[in-house]
Amino acid sequence: MLSRTASDLYWLSRYLERAENTARMLEASHSIAMMPAGGSAIQELAAPLRVTGTVAEFWREHSRLNFAELYKFLAWHPDHHASIYYCFRRARENAHAVRGRITAEMWETVNTTWLDLNRMRSSPPDLKPFCDWVKERSHLWRGTAYGTLARGDAFHFLRLGTFLERADNSARMLCVKQLDANNEANILRDYYHWTALLQALGALEAHQDVYRDKLDASTVAELLILRSDAPRSLRACLEEINTILMNIRGTQGRRAKGAARTLLSQLEFGSISELQKEGLAVFLERFLQTINNVGDEIQQSYLAAI
Amino acid sequence: MSAVFPPSRGVFDEMLLDVDTPRASYRSYHDWLANVAEQELRSKRHEAELLFQRVGITFAVYGEEEGAERLIPFDFVPRIISAEEWQFIETGLCQRVAALNAFLKDIYSEQAIIKAGIVPADNVMCNAQYQVAMQGIHLFRDIYAHIAGIDLVRHSDGNYYVLEDNLRVPSGVSYMLENRKMMMRLFPALFAEHHIAPVDHYPNLLLKTLRESSPVDNPTVVVLTPGRYNSAYFEHAFLAREMGVELVEGQDLFIKQNRLYMRTTTGPRIVDVIYRRLDDAFLDPLAFRSDSMLGVPGLLSVYREGNVILANAIGTGVADDKSMYPHVPDMIRFYLKQEPILHNVPTWCLRNEEDFAYVNEHLHELVVKEVHGAGGYGMLVGPAATREEIEAFRQVIQKNPGNYIAQPTLSLSTCPTLVDEGIAPRHIDLRPFVLSGRETRIVPGGLTRVALKKGSLVVNSSQGGGTKDTWVMLKDTKTETASC
């Protein structure tokens, strides 16, 4: 397929995944910030800003950090790259550009999401119903893609975008939480801290399945980094990325495939105790760099119009 | 039952002879309409709007705020054409397009028609659309206008006349196709009762035509679009998708060793045929407008080598120019040795002194159009204009008479249309699409455009026009496609 088309599909997926992840993060922060936890309420509120790298931007436009402002900024801001509104707008533009490559049902899903979002804009719903709506639209999108799109390159580039974005988002979230945890010593705080993270990554039930009632920094890190049970874990994402790269037609992308394979091996053969010895925050920073590298290689091999 | 308004006196109404008497081709539909509640019709219309919006059948209007998209209003009272009438139109269209293609071949080679004194040399050679770069080029099958949109109107005498030829980048076929889909969705019962010639195979015929335009075996075809912000982008994407070919922009293409390639995820791929939805001027910044970002540098040289086919060819604009329009009947006689089946509207060319004098006397009665105008802009509709407007226009035409032609105000036929008051007659035209490949193929019907404002003759979508579904009724032994 055309490089430009592959790029549009890839970024379409990344924006939609980003929107869903932002909604999940907002929700999780919201519930944790309501807990009686003293001074760290502010830290919890700021976490989504740190994850998305938008702290400076937020303070440029807002004078207070509270839930209303955070919601306005991360859900409705028209211009910055992490806002849900912006993500849906870019997604719809890209979908418009690749209409010939996605099915009618997929296009209608994205287009309807966009139309409904704009209708809501003048009097936005509360955060929780809004985040539910975002997740629902995301599930619908995924459903139409899985249900109606032929398993060719269009499908592969869409999925590739999803998992690159997911791996990146998950790693950022883990990173921020890890840095916070390093500065914490309160056991009860810990518990809510980790369940919030699991919730944001849709992994709470998966954790219960694997670890029963045991919950601590190690089990959470192991699940979300090294195990493939939870769909948003780093390992699950890398497994998908590797499979997809193998399925894309042609001989381009040798370096992207190599980088992705190496990263997967580290996760397959790593152990949580080794990672903790190195320091999880350090590991996660390195992971972020490498996954961005994989993204760059993908850009060069398939998507760049050079 | 909805209020049905009678046809205007002196106007040919497609459905009604008078308020109680439908024409033969509409008898069955008229019965159906008589028994449908107005409320149901209105709710169907609302349903259609929602569907169109959801599916995104919009077009961008230039000059409106960034990203503004509009729905083209769709009216579901069909325009019905009998099988016999269509047979006549079809034969006339084939003849006319064959003559136009022969003309194009001639003026870019021997120029016999100029030497015979039938078309003035300066009309051709000084025409801004005449492309010197096309002289002496041999095109496969001698086809220049692979896709032609011929605008027809029916006058109050009941006859069809050609209003205009469109040989550059004729558009609107996607609305024809989407309208049919919408009608079948809204009124399935009607399609069961009426035997209507299908149109959905147009993309199929288009692809066949494009593939036949190249001498290459199994050629790679692409649709070249200016991009998402072009007003007809929906159609570009639609046709590319229906044909199963790539939709490319200039930036996706490059030239190497005099062949054209597109950038793909599996590396560069050769392109043999371009269905280009770009005007000549934007195709190649090295040959035409140097500020164009939409084309491919060097495309003209690859084209001249014969290494890529463009549909339509470069330089077809000289033949659909309003100044050339009056000569088309002569072209039919000269190249085909036949009398024209479809007639032109009587036309005065203001570059001609006698014609100018006549037009100047009768401005209040005539429609005066710019030779190079498009989309209904820059024209005068005499009978609808104020005295000031007429005088102002008189000044304008005096400055540059060669830029204008005039025609009598046509009494365009009307077709019942659902408006606020009920079902009332509104003026329509018809644009069939003629495909020229190994044979000439025309999908039955075409796009019917309707002027939604009462009494208005302006059907352009950018000026408030809408569209209708066109039904060509099937005869028992009639085949679906035409070959002439």
DSSP B342-376: SEEPP-EETTSHHHHHHHHHTTTTEEEEETT--TT
Give the C-alpha distances (Å, rounded to integers) separating B460 from A264, B73, B173.
58, 11, 14
Assess contact for B128 and B372: CB atoms under 8 A: yes
Residue to mutate among B54, B264, B274, with most A CBs inside 10 A, is: B264
What stretch of H or E contains B112? helix B112-115
DSSP E strands in B412-461: the ranges are 414-419, 422-431, 433-436, 440-442, 447-451
CA-nearest of B439, B367, B433, B429 to B404 is B367
Band (pLDDT 50/70/90 cuts) for residue A189 is low
Tens digit of each residue's pLDDT (9 = 90 or more) over A20-38? 999 999 988 887 777 665 5
CA B281 to chain centre: 20
CA A162 – CA A9 distance, rounded (Å): 10
Residues B167, B173, B178: CA angle, nearest 5 degrees: 175
pLDDT score, position A40 = 61
Q: Does A116 touch chain B (CB under 8 A)?
A: no
Counting residues of chain B whose pLDDT is more than 70, the rounded percentage is: 94
Residue type, B388: E
Tell me the mean pLDDT in the region B269-273: 97
Backbone angles phi, psi at A207, to 5 degrees: -65, -45
Distance from CA of B461 to the nearest CA of A (A): 21
Tokens of B38: 């107005």
Distance from CA of B228 to the nearest CA of A (A): 6
pLDDT score, position B478 = 41
Contacting residues of B for A150, CB less than 8 Å apart:
none
How many cross-chain Cβ pairs, A to B, lie less than 8 Å apart?
Answer: 63
Q: Measured on CA atoms in the order B381, B382, B388, B392, is the torsion positive or negative?
A: positive
Tens digit of each residue's pLDDT (9 = 90 or more) over A142-151? 999 999 999 9
Say how many residues make up chain B: 484
CA B359 – CA B4 distance, rounded (Å): 38
User: In the predicted model, is pLDDT for residue B424 greater than 70?
Assistant: yes
User: In the predicted model, is pLDDT for residue B313 greater than 90?
Assistant: yes
Band (pLDDT 50/70/90 cuts) for residue B56 is low
Give the position of tokens 């590298």. Answer: A293
Tens digit of each residue's pLDDT (9 = 90 or more) over A110-121? 999 999 999 999
Choose the closest CB to B263 out of A3, A99, A104.
A3
Contacting residues of B for A306, CB less than 8 Å apart:
263
* Number of Cβ within a 10 Å radius of residue A64: 8
Band (pLDDT 50/70/90 cuts) for residue B422 is confident
Q: Whole-number mean pLDDT of chain B? A: 90
Band (pLDDT 50/70/90 cuts) for residue B57 is low
User: In the predicted model, is pLDDT for residue B392 greater than 60?
Assistant: yes
Choose the closest CB to B246 out of A2, A250, A305.
A2
Q: Whole-number mean pLDDT of chain A? A: 89
Distance from CA of B255 to the nearest CA of A (A): 13
Assess contact for A257 and A126: CB atoms under 8 A: no
pLDDT score, position B279 = 94
Contacting residues of A for B251, CB less than 8 Å apart:
4, 305
Band (pLDDT 50/70/90 cuts) for residue A188 is low
CA-nearest of B452, B446, B445 to B466 is B452
**Residue A300 DSSP symbol:** I
pTM for the structure as a whole = 0.81
Please give the residue of chain A at the shortest CA–CA distance from B252: A305
Tokens of B375: 């989309």
pLDDT score, position A27 = 87
Q: Does A249 touch chain B (CB under 8 A)?
A: yes
Tens digit of each residue's pLDDT (9 = 90 or more) over A40-97? 667 778 889 999 999 999 999 999 888 889 999 999 999 989 999 999 999 999 998 8
Which range marks the domain in which residue A176 is found?
A: 3-303
Contacting residues of A for B240, CB less than 8 Å apart:
100
Q: Does A108 touch chain B (CB under 8 A)?
A: yes
Tens digit of each residue's pLDDT (9 = 90 or more) over B173-217? 999 999 999 999 999 999 998 999 999 999 999 999 999 999 999
Inspect the interface and report whether the beta carbons of A4 and B251 lie closer than 8 Å: yes
pLDDT score, position B479 = 44
CA A116 – CA A137 distance, rounded (Å): 10
pLDDT score, position B66 = 44
**For chain A, what is the domain count?**
1
CA B263 – CA B277 distance, rounded (Å): 19
Higher pLDDT, B211 or B400: B211
User: In the predicted model, is pLDDT for residue A100 greater than 80?
Assistant: no
pLDDT score, position B94 = 98
pLDDT score, position B65 = 46
Residue to mutate among B220, B241, B265, with most A CBs inside 10 A, is: B265
Assess contact for A217 and A196: CB atoms under 8 A: no
User: In the predicted model, is pLDDT for residue A183 greater than 80?
Assistant: no
Residue B360 preceded by cis peptide, ω within 30: no
Backbone angles phi, psi at A294, to 5 degrees: -60, -45
Inspect the interface and report whether the beta carbons of B55 and A302 lie closer than 8 Å: no
Tens digit of each residue's pLDDT (9 = 90 or more) over A196-247? 888 888 899 999 999 998 988 889 999 999 999 889 999 999 999 999 999 9
Q: Which of A111-125, A266-280, B464-478 has the lowest mean pLDDT?
A: B464-478
Assess contact for B345 and B369: CB atoms under 8 A: no
Give me the helix-helix angle, A153-182 and A187-200, nearest 10°: 170
Contacting residues of B for A1, CB less than 8 Å apart:
246, 264-265
Inspect the interface and report whether the beta carbons of B265 and A111 lie closer than 8 Å: no
Q: Does A15 touch chain B (CB under 8 A)?
A: no
* Number of Cβ within a 10 Å radius of residue B194: 17
- Provide the ipTM: 0.73
Inspect the interface and report whether the beta carbons of B228 and A112 lie closer than 8 Å: no
Tens digit of each residue's pLDDT (9 = 90 or more) over B89-134? 999 999 999 999 999 999 999 999 999 999 999 889 999 999 999 9
pLDDT score, position A251 = 82
